[in-house]
């Protein structure tokens, strides 16, 4: 870019430098880069360092009232993946991906769980005992007045936010992934013995290295609603 062009570019972009602009665009570039991979190379693994970063992104996701009412099950074992193939809409992805990250939610909220989270928060922040008691009383009242199903749906919504964070982190690392709901939650719950842990599976992410020969969707255009359609202004 010539000096004049660069100056115009900077002026047009609110006096930001090119580097600053590139930095602000980076996340959108990552989102444009990613796609829901349809086939992974079974001979390639994602590094533990990258898996750890993706896990950390999910762990740092915000949740309603900070309850983090879900756990992340990280499946690397081929034996376990093979057991889950049967119920999967994408059996090849289940068999051949490097890791399966499964989001599993609490089966329900309980007064005890709410107290555990807020006792820990009170302690970690060095706050006086009972600092949150009027808030937790309200939360407990809401959850106790809702059905288990309604509570589980609320729990699942929290897990989906974390799933989005994990997908975003994977994209930033240029790690291939595919989010999926197309799997047997009953089979996952049974194989991973989730009931015993008070959990139920919700959704998962296949993480791995795409196989360019078989990942038929890779060259296709990203299809989204146009911004004018997507955004409704008031």
Ligand X SMILES: Cc1cc2nc3c(=O)[nH]c(=O)nc-3n(C[C@H](O)[C@H](O)[C@H](O)COP(=O)(O)O)c2cc1C
Query: Rule CB under 6 A: which residues touch ligand X?
Result: 35-36, 89-90, 178-182, 203, 222
Q: How far is the CB of 160 from ligand X (least distance, A)?
A: 7
* Residue 126: Cβ-neighbour burial (10 angstroms; 0-12, 13-18, 19+): exposed
Q: Which is nearer to ligand X, 50 or 90 (CB)?
A: 90
Question: For residue 71, what is the DSSP state?
Answer: E
Q: How far is the CB of 224 from ligand X (least distance, A)?
A: 8
Q: Which is nearer to ligand X, 4 or 221 (CB)?
A: 221
Q: Which is nearer to ligand X, 7 or 217 (CB)?
A: 217
Q: Which is nearer to ligand X, 38 or 83 (CB)?
A: 38
CA atoms within 13 A on the CB side of 158: 23
| DSSP bridge pairs for 75 | 100
- Secondary structure element (H or E) that encloses residue 152, with its range: helix 148-172
Rounded to whole angstroms, the Cα distance separating 114 from 65 reads: 9
Residue 62 CB coordination number (10 Å): 10
Q: How far is the CB of 217 from ligand X (least distance, A)?
A: 6
Q: How far is the CB of 142 from ligand X (least distance, A)?
A: 26
Q: Using CB atoms, what's the residue nearest to ligand X?
A: 182
Structural tokens at position 15: 């006096």
């Amino acid at each position: 870019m010539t000096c004049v062009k660069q100056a115009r570019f900077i002026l047009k972009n609110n006096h930001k430098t090119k580097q600053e602009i590139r930095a602000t665009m980076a996340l959108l570039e990552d989102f444009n880069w990613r796609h829901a991979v349809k086939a992974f190379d079974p001979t390639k693994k994602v590094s533990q360092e990258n898996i750890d970063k993706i896990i950390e992104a999910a762990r740092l996701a915000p949740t309603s009232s900070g309850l983090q009412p879900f756990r992340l099950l990280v499946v690397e074992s081929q034996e376990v993946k093979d057991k889950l193939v049967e119920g999967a809409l994408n059996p090849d992805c289940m068999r051949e991906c490097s890791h399966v990250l499964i989001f599993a939610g609490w089966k329900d909220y309980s007064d005890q769980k709410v107290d555990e989270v807020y006792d820990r928060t009170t302690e970690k922040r060095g706050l006086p005992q009972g600092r949150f008691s009027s808030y937790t009383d309200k939360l407990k009242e809401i959850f106790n007045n809702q059905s288990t199903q309604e509570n589980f749906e609320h729990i699942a919504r929290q897990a989906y936010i974390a799933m989005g964070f994990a997908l975003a982190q994977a994209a930033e690392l240029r790690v291939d992934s595919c989010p999926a709901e197309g799997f047997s939650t009953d089979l996952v719950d049974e194989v991973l013995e989730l009931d015993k842990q008070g959990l139920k599976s919700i959704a998962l992410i296949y993480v791995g290295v795409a196989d360019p020969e078989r990942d038929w969707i890779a060259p296709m255009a990203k299809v989204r609603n146009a911004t004018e359609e997507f955004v409704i202004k008031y």
